[in-house]
Amino acid sequence: MGSMPRVVEPGQDQFVKALAAENRAFWADRDVRLDPGASPEDLLSQIRYRMRQGVYNELRSVELIAAWLPTVKEREIRQLLPRQLDDEQRHYQLLRRRLLDLGEDPDGYEPLPEWVAFFDWLVAARERPTVEKLAMFQFAGETQSCEGFETLIRLARELDPETAHLYRTQILPDEYRHAAIGRQALLLLADSPERQERAREACREMNRRVFQCYREHRARADRQG
């Protein structure tokens, strides 16, 4: 599978655009990880919490991509994933180093049980069709991450310009490329009403799960100050 070039039909392109719009609509005013109206002290605390969480996220993302690689049989997609795996590992190291420079313990973060379960669920999704799992993580998840990082960069620019610069130059460009992998997967593989519906439901499931975890994380970040 994947040995012959695939033709992208106009209907697939329209489907991907519509699904992207649905994802954006879901996340309108729902990203609760950072509070733009918080005091500078509280906002900086939220940013630090998110960086510590990011160390865990990047390491689990390495595990995730490694688990998925053998199950992606479509050559056009499979050849893109090793680069993403390398990116996630590099992001892990960059965030650890930055936290150390700030006097933080990057390995002292204890992930919420809900977040551990969320990544375990994603790893187990390796058995699902490629169109579903890449719709979940690369298309829905990484696209939302890009938007979240844009917000973080904007809010951190005055509070911690070095961290903002790190995200803007070393992490965000890679995240946009990862999101593009999801878009390419849907353009190539969502080639029937049935596959499109499976991709749509996978995105909805991803968004619901991530949002619930974000709410739990924000509650803990607020408790910890």
Around 88, how many Cα atoms within 13 Å sit in the side-chain half-sphere?
Answer: 20
pTM of the model: 0.91
**CA gap 194, 203 in Å, rounded:** 14
2: pLDDT confidence band, cut at 50, 70 and 90? very low
pLDDT value of residue 223: 83
**CA gap 49, 163 in Å, rounded:** 13
- Mean pLDDT for the stretch of residues 14-41: 94
Encoded amino acid at 94, one letter: L
Domain ranges of the chain: 35-224
* Residue 126 · residue 133 · CB < 8 Å: yes
pLDDT value of residue 158: 95
pLDDT(41) > 90: yes
The per-residue pLDDT of the chain, averaged, comes to 93
> Which CATH number applies to 35-224?
1.20.910.10
pLDDT value of residue 46: 93
- Mean pLDDT for the stretch of residues 32-58: 95
8: pLDDT confidence band, cut at 50, 70 and 90? low
**CA gap 81, 86 in Å, rounded:** 9
Backbone φ and ψ of 105, nearest 5°: -95, 100
